[in-house]
Amino acid sequence: MSIECLREAAMKTATHYMADCANAFLHGKRGPASLVYPTGRGVVSLYACEASDYLVAYFRSIYERDPERFYRLSREFNHAQSGLSNGAPGWAVTRFVGHLFLSLRWGNEISVHKVPLQLRESVIALGLAQGCYLDCTFVTNGLAADHQMPQELAAELAS
């Protein structure tokens, strides 16, 4: 099998994974919201996969201890990931704390899925191709230098 055939197969698998996540999200196959918070555009409900529980706990603690910082982080992330910011259906891929996450948005509901290790490279490629990729690591490996986290978001995460 040629390298090109392997790449095509990986992209197809990544597309299927993303479609499965979207189907589960759109058909309500999820538990209760992991985090619910009010915004100027209504109440946002965040649904996170179990593999993201530690991340939800981190952001929930910020929300409870320092709501102003939580909303600044939220605004900076929305600004950096325009595919998720306007409430319209959208998606984004984010590398954060050493993992890759697929976020899907429909209105004021956001679903976050941890991308399996074997699909990371092909999901990043899809995100890059669609302008939906953000690398939130502080030290990047040069894979997507144009998609690194904005300084404002880095400063807010570090504070």
3-class secondary-structure state, position 43: strand
- Best-predicted range by mean pLDDT among 63-67, 88-92, 155-159? 63-67
Residue 85 has pLDDT above 80, yes or no: no
User: What are 13-58's pLDDT values in tens digits?
Assistant: 888 899 988 888 888 777 788 889 998 888 989 888 877 777 888 8
Query: Over the Cα atoms of the chain, what is R_g?
Result: 16
Comparing 58-62, 79-83, 100-104, the range with the smallest average pLDDT is: 79-83
Please tell me the distance from the alpha carbon of residue 129 to that of residue 132, in angstroms, as a whole number. Answer: 8
Task: Report the pLDDT value the prediction gives residue 24, as an integer from 0 to 100.
Answer: 86
User: What are 93-135's pLDDT values in tens digits?
Assistant: 888 878 899 988 888 888 889 999 889 999 999 888 888 888 8
Question: How far apart, in Å, are the Cα atoms of 84 and each of 54, 80, 133?
Answer: 22, 9, 11
What are the residues whose beta carbons fall under 8 Å from the beta carbon of 93, sequence distance 6 or more? Answer: 100, 101, 102, 103, 115, 123, 124, 126, 127, 132, 133, 134
46 phi and psi, to 5 degrees?
-110, 125
Task: Report the pLDDT value the prediction gives residue 59, as an integer from 0 to 100.
Answer: 86
